[in-house]
Structure formats: structure tokens, C-alpha cells
Structure 1
Amino acid sequence: MSPQSEEAVVLDGITVRYGKGGSAVTAVEDVSLTVRAGEFVVLVGPSGCGKTTLLRIVAGFERATSGTGVVQGAPAAPGRGTGIVFQQPRLFPWRTVGGNIGFALARHGVPRAERPARIASLLDRVGLGGTAGRRTWELSGGQQQRVAIARALAAEPQVLLMDEPFAALDALTRERLQEEVRALAASLGTTVLFVTHSAEEAVLLGTRVLVMAADPGRIVAEVDVDLTRDSATDPAALRGSAEFARLRGELADIMREAATAA
């Protein structure tokens, strides 16, 4: 993996409008943000405030009407040091688990002879060792999402974009994957930009939370999350701590205000 710049993601004055004339809709307006290398930044806010739009700008899937997006010192573009995980796994059902990851490795120029070892290593990272030969439809929803995460990590992205990746999962699986993603990002030094509607999830995962409001989409608040989270931290103890409860409550209040902001 190539060295990261100090500023992994920089959005400057991003405005996105759809349509023309009187029927034009402004999805986001004059949004600027910076994500430093190794940060886990969470975007929260009501539906329609532009969280996913900003992720698509960073991924290079969409162009801003005005403003600039820079990832690792270069203009945002598909595959430029970024990996993305969607709300649904979006796996290829006709491919095996290993085949899905192998497809991503092939697209990024990994020689065929090296792929089996890389696939095994990636599956081990997400707790699915030994499943390379299985069909995706044989896996549970949580396991499929782990495969999607492994596929996103296949190109060793410097920036990982996650768009409500656990929203469709049951509570127990969601909690387990939250811990796995947080620990994995920390161990790899990956920069993460994560979208969620949940104040609890934002505080649990993020080192910094950006709150958005809608009509038009814009950032209205920032909350720093200063919690001790290392390999020795008990997730249950963290969730049950007074500081966690305080931050979750503070963020929830800000989110409620943002949801009603004009």
C-alpha cells in the first residue's frame, strides 16, 4: 500500500444540482470537509440530506455541479485508492465467494497465480476463512456483507467508503460487524468515511461525526468522539459507559435539530 497523504479526502465547496431552470433541485450546497489519513469519519443526518451523494463524489461515481473533490492528492475518480461497501452486498450470485473477491483482484491487476493466497488472506481478515469455494447464496446476510467488505479491501484501498452497510442486518449481526470493521480499519490504518442514520453507531465507530441537514444538504455540526478504543477495549463496556451515553445523547439531540432545520 502506498503512503497516505496527511489529508486523505478533501471536498471544497461541493454543490450538486439535478435538473435545470425552475425545476432544478439542489441535493447539496457548498459542502466542504477534510478527512485526515487514518480517521474514521461518520456522516449522519435525515434521509435526502446528501450523505450518499457526497460518498458518490468521493468515489468518483458522480460529478459535482461546482466545487472540487480530491482523494489522496488527486481528483476523485473511480478506483483511485478507494473501496466502497453498499447497504446491500451486491455480490455476483453466479460466482463463488472466492470468485467475487478474485474479480476485484483481477480488475486491479493482481496476477492470477497470486490471487488464491490473497483471497484466503482477505477472508481470514473478515472471519470467513475456508469459505472461498462456497456459493454466495449459501451464506447468511451478515456473511455476505463480510464478503463485500473483503472485496472492497481487495485493492488495499487507502480510503474505504461505507454507505449504511449494516442497515439491513439483524441487531446481533450488526453489532458484531461494527466491531469487526472498527478493529479492521484500525489495524490496517484505513481512512473510513461512513454513512449511517444511527447516533449509537456513529459514536461507536467514528472518531469524528459530521451532522447534515436537508433542503439543501449541508453540514451543520461536528462532534469529536474521544473514546478509548483499542484491542483491549471491551465493546460491551464501551457501550455501557457514561461517556458513551453522553455522546450518544448529545449527537441524537443535534440530529433531531438538524432534521427540523430549514
Structure 2
Amino acid sequence: MPQAEFQDTGDTGDIALHGITVRYGKAKAPVVAVEDVSLEAGPGEFVVLVGPSGCGKTTLLRIAAGFVTPSEGTATVRGEPPVPGRATGVVFQQPRLFPWRTAGGNIAFALARHGVPREHRAERTEELLARVGLAGMAGRRTWELSGGQQQRVAIARALAGEPQVLLMDEPFAALDALTRERLQEEVRTLAATSGTTVLFVTHSAEEAVLLGSRVLVMAAGPGRIVAELEIGLERAAETDVAALRGTPEFSRLRGELAAVMREAALTPAG
């Protein structure tokens, strides 16, 4: 794959992707996964990517994480080319915990990678577990944790380096409805209290409206952004999220986004 020429674009956003194109396969007959996509996420913004499978949502997130180099275009995170783990924390659909380590051991490993002295790791581990609602569970083995608890550990691990940017790739998709709702509320509160910039991938219109301050809708064949919706719901940490779900404005926005997503799924390429 050709290497993109990363440049200082002078962006002020925490995430800036400009003119991103990704091609796979042979040069004579490449598959264009993403074509000429640009997006930015400002400091403290919660940007959600939605769209059908295969539209390139995860590809864009992986470019922001530094895992994928685009064929064309420029990518920066806080003004620098993205490097895995430098300024970003990443949470995947599956927790991807080390099964031979405890919950606390998984977090301590991340703390060590980020240069936290050994004598401070236990205290910091407890702080991070408490932050995701798992206080006192550092000694639990991964197989002793439910799916939702494992995902909480994964979120705590992603926060170990105190990232300015958090990248989340459908982190609640495999969870039951009740656990998913609880973690959605916790992530929403976490973003509001920390000021962390979040890029979040989902297929769910409801999840996108609940979490996002702005939603970008993608279409496939090749992947591209076809619509953008501003979400003006209350985002303060003390917001009653359960009550918010039942408001007419929430229902209106969810319906509007769902309609745009259906239209995007039927939008022909080019």
C-alpha cells in the first residue's frame, strides 16, 4: 500500500482526517474501501460514526489510532501523525483482555507501558476501576467477570495513559440490552467529566443520539460521509440519562437519524 504523506495541516482539532482514501488489493484492480473522507473532532467533542457494514467506519477509526496508513490524505491527532498509544486510548468491540492476568493486572500492564512507576500502579489501578464502577475488583480473574464487567476493564485500561482522545469501535455491540444501557450512561458521564475527545463507531441510531454531540452518517461503495447531524441534547455530567431517553426531543432526533441512515444505506456509489 502506498504510504500517505503526513503533513502539518495546522489543524486545531484533536482529530483531523483530510481527504482520506484507502485502497486494498492489486494496483490494477484495487478495492476502494474509503474515498476522499474528511472529518474533524474538536477538543471535548463526542463524534459518532454510523452507517452500514462495510462503509469504512472502523477503517477511519483505525487510521486515527495509527493502526492503518491511508493510501491518500492526511491524518493528525492533536496536531501530530497518529502513533498507536501516544495520545489515544482504544476500546474494541471485544474486551481483548489478557486472560492470564487479573482485572487489575490488565490495567497495571497498561500503566507500566505508559511509564507509571511500580509503586503508584496499585493505587492508580484502583482509581481507574472505581471510575468504571468496579471498585474492589482488581483481584478478579477475567473468567470471573461478566461480559459487561470485562468491557469496563477494557475501558479502564484504555484510560490508563490519560489519553486526550478515546477511540471506541462498537464497544457495546456484544452486550445484553440492560448492560449496554448502563455502559452507555457511564461513557456519556465519563466524557462529560473528563473533557476527553471521543470518536465512536456504532450501527445504532439510538446509541448515536444518546452519546454523540455530532453524528456523521456514512454510505458504502466506497465509504464516504453523506450527512451530518448536530445533537443538541443536554450533556452535563449530572444529566438524568434515563429521563433523557424518554423525552420528545430524543425520540425526534432518533427518528430523524434512523431515516437518514436508511437513506444512506440505499445511496448509490458516486
- TM band (smaller chain): over 0.9
SS of corresponding position for 1:21: coil
Counterparts of 1:122-141 in structure 2 under 5 Å?
Answer: 122-141=128-147
- 2:134 partner amino acid: L
2:107 match: secondary structure = helix
Alignment equivalent of 1:80, drawn from 66, 86, 90: 86
Corresponding residue of 1:117: 123
Structure 2 partner of 1:47: 53
Q: Contact (CA 8 Å) 2:47, 2:216: kept in 1 or not? A: yes
Say which SS state the counterpart of residue 74 (structure 1) adopts: coil
Q: Which amino acid aligns with 1:186?
A: A
Q: In structure 2, what is the equivalent of residue 24 of structure 1? A: 30
Paired residues for 1:87-236 under 5 Å: 87-236=93-242
Q: Distance in 1 between matches of 2:157 and 2:255?
A: 35
Per-residue CA distance 1:151-198 (angstroms, 9 max, x = gap): 000000000000000000000000000000010111111000000000
Shift of 1:97: 0.6
Shift in Å at residue 140 of structure 1?
Answer: 0.4
Unaligned 5+ segments in structure 1 are: none
Q: Which residue of structure 1 lines up, in the alignment, with residue 65 of structure 2?
A: 59
What secondary structure is seen at the aligned counterpart in 1 of 2:203?
Answer: coil
Q: Is the 8 A contact 1:71 1:80 kept in 2?
A: no
3-state SS of paired residue (1:175):
helix
Q: 2:103, 2:251 → 1: CA distance?
A: 38
Q: Could you tell me which residue of structure 1 aligns to residue 6 of structure 2? A: none
Q: Percent identity?
A: 75
- Three-state SS of the structure 2 residue aligned to 1:180 is helix
- Equivalents in 1 of 2:36, 2:238: separation in Å? 41
Where do 5+ consecutive residues of structure 2 fail to align? 1-10
Give per-residue Cα distances to partners, 1:36-67, cap 9 Å, x unaligned: 01000000000000000000100000100010
Q: C-alpha displacement at 1:26, in angstroms?
A: 0.4
Query: How many pairs were matched up?
Result: 258
**What is the CA–CA distance in structure 2 between the aligned matches of 1:231 and 1:93, rounded to whole Å?**
33
Would you say the 8 A contact 2:12–2:79 is kept in 1? no
CA contact 1:14–1:64 (8 Å) conserved in 2? yes
Q: Which residue of 1 aligns with 2:264?
A: 258
Q: Take 1:142 and 1:101, find their aligned partners in 2: how far apart are those partners?
A: 16
The answer on 1:13 being equivalent to 2:19 is yes
User: 1:76 offset after TM fit, Å?
Assistant: 1.1
**Alignment check: 8 A CA contact 2:87 2:165 kept:** yes
1:248 and 2:254 are equivalent in the alignment:
yes
Q: Distance in 1 between matches of 2:192 and 2:239?
A: 13
Task: Give the RMSD, CA atoms, in angstroms.
Answer: 1.0
Asked if the contact 1:60/1:78 (under 8 Å) is kept, the reply is: yes
Q: Is the 8 A contact 2:192 2:235 kept in 1?
A: no
In structure 1, what is the equivalent of residue 5 of structure 2?
none
Alpha-carbon shift at residue 235 of structure 1 (Å): 1.6
Hey, which bits of structure 1, 4+ residues long, moved more than 6 A?
none
Structure 1 residue matching 2:14: 3-state secondary structure:
strand
